[in-house]
Chains A and B, each alone.
Chain A
Amino acid sequence: MTDSIDKSDPVVRGKIAQRFTDAIPHNRAIGLTLISAGPPDVHTRLAYREDFLGNVKAGLWHTAIATTAADSSCGLAVFLAMPGMEAVATLDLRMDYLRPAVAGRDLEIVASCHHVTRNVAFATAMLHQGDSGRPTARCTATFMRTGGSVLP
C-alpha cells in the first residue's frame, strides 16, 4: 500500500512532510516548521529565539542550532525522494559556516536530495536569513537507508 504513494504530488508531499516533521519531538522543541515540501526542494524555517544565541553581546545565532535544522531538513528531503515509507539515518554531515546568522531574524533552510542508491542517499542544504544570495551556512550530508518503515 505504502509503495503506491505518489511522492511527486505536491499535496501528498506536503502531508507526508508535515507528519514527518511533527513526529520528531526535537523539531517541535526548537520550533522547526515546514514551509514547502516541493518538489523538488524542501523549505523549512526556524523562527528566531534568544535560546539559539551563541554570542549575546554581538547578537549572533550559535552555529550548532543550524546543524540541527539542516540535519532535519536534509533528512526530510531524502525521505521524500525515496519510494514508500522507508526510514533513513544520518551517516555523516558537514557544515560550512559561511557567515554569521544575526539575532532577531529567522533561519531559512532549503534542502535537496540529489541521488539515492541501494544503500545511501546524498543531500545538501543552504541556509540563509531572507536573502538566498547571502547564505549563512551550507550543509552536505549522507544518509543510510535502514530498510525499515517509519510507520510503527
Chain B
Amino acid sequence: MSASRHDLNRSLSGTAARRLRDARARGDYKALIDAIPFARFLGLAVVDEGDARRYVMPYRDTHVGNAAKPALHGGTVAGVLELAMQLETLISQTQPRLPDPVDFTIDYWRAAELADCHVAARVIRAGRAIAQVQAECWQGDRGRPIAFARGDFVLRAAEASALD
C-alpha cells in the first residue's frame, strides 16, 4: 500500500472531520472532552498553546490517594497522562475516533502534590497501524516533572465517527 493511500485513509470526511478541524482552528476542545465520560469525571481540560496543547487535570479532593502525606492518587496522574496521549493522537493524527490504547507505562518521579496536573504529550512515531506516544506530567514547575508515560495506540482509517 502506498503512502498516499495511507494519507487518504487517514483523512477525515463528513461531520467528524469538520468538528475536529473546527476544534483545532478555534483551539477549543471542550466538545471532545464532553464526549468522553471518564475525561469529564477527572475534570480534564485542553489548553490550546498555538503549536501545542496542554492537558490539565484540576485538583479535586476526590483525587487524593494519601491524605496523611498528602498526595494525589497515582491512578489519577496515570489517567491524565493516558487521556492526554490519546487525545493528542486523535487531534494530531486526525483520527476518526478516540484511538484505542494497546498498552500504557508510567514512571513515577515525584509524589503528586495536592495541586493541578499539567501534561504535554507527543506522538513520537505514527506508523500504518500504531502510534507510539510519550507524555510528561508536571505541577508548579515544568522543569520538575512528577511522572513520565509512554503508550501505544491503534490508528484507524476514517470511518463512522464517535465525534458525530
Contacts and interface: CB of A to CB of B under 8 A. Distances in A.
A55 B62 contact: no
Given A67-B79, A94-B105, A96-B103, A24 B65 contact: yes
A41 B108 CA distance: 25
Interface in B77-127: 78-79, 82-83, 97-98, 100-108, 111
A53 to B, nearest CB: 4
Contacts of A62: 36-39, 83
B106 to A, nearest CB: 5
Interface size class for chain A? 35 or more
Interface residues of B, number: 37
B68 interface: yes
B106 A26 contact: no
Interface stretch (A5-13, A85-93, A115-123, A128-136): A85-93
Nearest to B41: A51
B14 interface: no
B51 interface: no
B interface: dominant SS: mixed
A94 B37 contact: no
A150 B69 CA distance: 9
Interface of A: 23-27, 29, 50-58, 61-65, 67-69, 71-72, 87, 89-97, 100, 150, 152
Interface of B: 35-41, 61-68, 72-76, 78-79, 82-83, 97-98, 100-108, 111, 162
26 contacts: A25-B73, A26-B62, A26-B75, A27-B73, A51-B40, A53-B36, A54-B37, A54-B38, A54-B98, A63-B100, A64-B83, A65-B38, A67-B78, A67-B104, A67-B106, A68-B73, A69-B75, A72-B75, A89-B111, A91-B107, A91-B108, A93-B78, A93-B108, A96-B103, A97-B104, A150-B68
